[in-house]
Amino acid sequence: MNHIALIPLLAFQPMLAISAQADTPAHWSFSEQTVMMMHEDPAIRMQAGLAACIGTTDGPETAADTVAVFQSYGWTGGTWGELTELGYLTTTAFIADDNGFCEVNDFAVTTIAAKEVVNTLFQEAGIAEWAEVATGAGCITFQGPQGRLIEINSGGGDPMCGDFQQSAIRVWNPEIKQ
């Protein structure tokens, strides 16, 4: 069953107005998609968490901004070294203090389903999808504005690329400054 198709469209109505435009607007935000961060379906939680990780055209202003979005929806956790870990039910987010990356993962969402999560987020928001590219290691990667990347891998302590029963979606923000 495709769990992504079960996302209630009401949560996305404010952003659907953008989809009527032929081109992606110069500035966009995924803030409306974060409202599903407490959903019972882990794929939908991952989609909302990914929206928080991406933030806007230029990315989140600071890592603290991203952490605040997750915490505002009841995700809890703490900071270890230079990394904040927050979780809700079976979904976990990792946010680097230097704003270099943000990741959402869930051991109940396959890597194939994680790719659908990324595609659905862009489709529902009416934003042009980032170009899909393959890495040398075989990870599914989407390249976005300003050198930003979305990478799908197996998650966990030693993430691998390929078809796995669990997944992580990581947003790399290499050009974003704190």
**Placement of tokens 């290691």 in the chain:** 137
Average pLDDT over residues 105-120: 94
Residue 75 has pLDDT above 90, yes or no: yes
Reported in sequence order, the residue ranges of 41-139 that DSSP labels E, i.e. its strands, are 76-80, 83-88, 91-96, 101-106, 131-134
What letters, b where the CB count within 10 A reaches 16 and e where it falls short, cover 136-158? eeebbbbebeeebbbbbbbbeee
In the DSSP assignment, the letter for residue 56 is: B
pTM of the model: 0.79
Average pLDDT over residues 99-103: 92
Average pLDDT over residues 45-74: 85
Q: Is 32 helix (H, G, I), strand (E, B) or coil?
A: helix
Task: Please choose, from the candidates 28, 60, 1, 27, the residue with its C-alpha nearest in 3D space to the C-alpha of residue 124.
Answer: 28
Give per-residue pLDDT as tens, 5-55: 323 222 322 222 222 233 444 444 555 666 788 899 999 999 999 989 988
